[in-house]
């Protein structure tokens, strides 16, 4: 059964000329990707997030931090894009000026076929030098540590400093270029679809607000109410993997992405 409001949202989506799809952790939940805090289970539950996701933590114990992120990367490698990811890719075939802005650090949008992506919180698949910021090769996964185990990070091929995960840690600013590109896309779009995000983490949560202030239509897909409800034309209650394929079907009559 389609969520209430699907027909109205589909009509608005079908009229999109410049579309922004803004996604959060709920986008990947049904692919089995654990959220940041959900990843602190099992043997990792003995650690506080602040001991694993700050520049200070990496300087103090790079093997512990790198081991956790390699374990997380392994979990993401085993995950598959869900029908919600594929529905987003299908939207771009109907609206050529589609920009995907994600807060997620997995690569599931890419693997589902979405081409224009802005990663606000970085990516597990973009490690870089902790000193000179030189991009580093992505480990092949062969050295993935067991849960709770340390793993020494590789060294930068340019300056020999430890390589760090390419994500945004507590206390760090969002990548300036990515944030500017996201704001620009929201400023220019006439429809913004926000999916699976709490609307609580700033400055990322400002992106839908920018679109609304510029007169764009904001549609939300989320199982729960969020602070973004007030700026949305339509709020679709449900999981991304169910709501988004239904939205594509209703908007363009396409078969649901499987």
Question: pLDDT (tens digit, 9 = 90+) per residue, 11-53?
Answer: 999 999 999 999 999 999 999 887 666 656 665 667 777 778 9
For the chain, residues classed under CATH 3.40.50.1220 are 1-31+80-124+173-258
CA-CA distance, 257 to 87, in Å (whole number)?
6
218 annotated binding-site participant: no
Which CATH fold would you assign to the domain 1-31+80-124+173-258?
Answer: Rossmann fold (3.40.50)
Q: 109-124 burial, b if ≥16 CB within 10 A, otherwise e?
A: bbbbebebbbbbbbbb
Residue 107 in contact with residue 73, Cβ under 8 Å?
A: no
196 annotated binding-site participant: yes
Percent of the chain topping pLDDT 90: 76
For the chain, residues classed under CATH 3.30.1600.10 are 34-78+128-164
Asked if the bond preceding 52 is cis, omega within 30° of 0, the reply is no
222 annotated binding-site participant: yes
98 annotated binding-site participant: no
183 annotated binding-site participant: no
Kindly report the pTM of this predicted structure. 0.92
> CATH second-level architecture of 34-78+128-164?
2-Layer Sandwich (3.30)
**121 assigned to active site:** yes
Catalytic residue among 85, 109, 119, 121: 121
* pLDDT confidence band for 258 (50 / 70 / 90): very low
**Residues 73-126: pLDDT tens digits?**
988 999 999 999 999 999 999 999 999 999 999 999 999 999 878 999 999 999
105 annotated binding-site participant: yes
């Amino acid at each position: 059964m389609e969520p209430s409001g699907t027909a109205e949202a589909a009509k608005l989506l079908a009229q999109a000329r410049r579309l922004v799809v803004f996604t959060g952790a709920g986008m990947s939940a049904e692919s089995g990707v654990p959220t940041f805090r959900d990843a602190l289970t099992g043997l990792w539950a003995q650690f506080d997030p602040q001991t694993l996701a700050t520049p200070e933590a990496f300087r103090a114990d790079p093997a512990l931090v790198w081991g956790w992120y390699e374990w997380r990367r392994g979990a993401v490698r085993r995950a598959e894009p869900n029908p919600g990811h594929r529905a987003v890719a299908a939207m771009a075939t109907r609206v050529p000026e589609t920009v995907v802005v994600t807060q997620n650090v997995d690569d599931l949008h890419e693997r589902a076929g979405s081409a224009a992506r802005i990663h606000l919180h970085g990516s597990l698949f973009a490690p870089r030098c902790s000193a000179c910021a030189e991009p580093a090769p992505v480990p092949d996964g062969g050295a993935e540590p067991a849960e709770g185990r340390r793993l020494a990070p590789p060294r930068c091929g340019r300056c020999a400093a430890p390589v760090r995960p390419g994500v945004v840690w507590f206390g760090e600013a969002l990548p300036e270029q990515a944030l500017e590109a996201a704001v620009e896309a929201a400023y220019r779009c006439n429809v913004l679809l926000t999916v699976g995000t709490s609307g609580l983490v700033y400055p990322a949560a400002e992106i839908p607000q920018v679109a609304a202030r510029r007169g764009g239509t904001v549609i939300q897909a989320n199982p729960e109410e969020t602070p973004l409800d007030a700026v949305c034309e339509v709020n679709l209650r449900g999981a991304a993997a169910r709501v988004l394929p239904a939205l594509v079907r209703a908007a363009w009559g396409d078969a649901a992405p499987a």
